[in-house]
Amino acid sequence: MAGFSSEILKVLAAALAGYVAKEVQIRTKAKRARERREQKIWSEQKQLYYLPLLEAAREFRIRMEELSRVYRREWIKPFTPESLSQDFRELYALSRDSIRLPECDPNHLRLNDGARQSLRQRMCHYLNFATSSLYRTAKYLAIAEYVKRALNTGKLNLSETTLKELMALIVNVRNSLQGPTGAGIASEQQESIAEIMWDPAGHVITNFEFRKRLLELPGWEQFTGLLIFFLSEDDTLPVTDGKPGATDVRARFVAKVPCEVQETITALTALEKKLDQIRSF
């Protein structure tokens, strides 16, 4: 009888061991499948959100640094503050002449087919740097707003701490670009520009499409805040206490270089650093 009981115990032990091994196998398989799903989701989120924002932030920051060097006269060729001021005026008013914002009518020459066609051609070559400066800014705003909304939904696979840090950094760029006095691009206008930079298929519009929209009448006025940010009414670079300055800071880009532009560069640098960290997770 004792031998019989011993055999039963061995059978039961073997059955139990087999059950445990099978259960471990099932759970291990399920864990690996879950990890693969999570890795796939994480990979998709990096491609959809973090990498595009990192690229847009870097391009925007580099261009702001380049513009700063031009307006500080540290980068002489091929641009000067005067030539760039004329370029941005041409994109706004289709004329390189000096303007005054309250009296200037940007619609006037946009009604002229010949003037519009001339500007289309110049955008692709002579005005490419100025045009791409506008595009990089608008593209960043579009992607930043897209990521910010995704962060607000809570659907992104980030820790609560990382989510709050990333959100704060994006908002900091927005506030820096607006500036404490509102001389930059107002936050509401930044959101509006972000909205119109997406096509119906859910992609940021191309540089080609962007150039077309800058000439649409009506329609171009949706980019007014963007255009005025880079605008200088004339080629005069006033100096106050040895530093570039102007009474109407909205009317001179050079006055924004040590303020809104530098603050935005600093904010973008911090955002890039955080996105680099997230990318390496």
pLDDT of residue 29: 65
pLDDT of residue 20: 80
Q: Which amino acid is at 232?
A: S
The mean-pLDDT minimum among 14-28, 101-115, 199-213, 263-277 falls in 14-28
**Between these two residues, 34 and 56, which has the higher pLDDT value?**
56
Contacts (Cβ under 8 Å, ≥6 apart) of 25: none
The H-or-E segment that residue 133 falls in is helix 128-153
Give the pLDDT band (50/70/90) at residue 238: low
Average pLDDT over residues 259-273: 97
Polymer length in residues for the chain: 281
Q: How far is the C-alpha of 21 from the C-alpha of 164, rounded, in Å?
A: 43
pLDDT mean across residues, the chain: 88
Secondary structure letter of residue 259 according to DSSP: I
Q: What is the CA radius of gyration of the chain?
A: 28
**For the segment 175-189, what is each residue's pLDDT rounded down to a tens digit?**
999 999 888 999 999
Q: Taking the mean position of all CA atoms in its chain, how far away is CA 107?
A: 28
* CA triple 38-44-47, angle to 5 deg: 140
Q: How far is the C-alpha of 243 from the C-alpha of 258, rounded, in Å?
A: 9
**For the segment 59-84, what is each residue's pLDDT rounded down to a tens digit?**
999 999 999 999 999 986 789 999 99
**For the segment 4-25, what is each residue's pLDDT rounded down to a tens digit?**
677 887 777 777 777 887 777 7
**For the segment 110-154, what is each residue's pLDDT rounded down to a tens digit?**
999 999 999 999 999 999 999 999 999 999 999 999 999 999 987
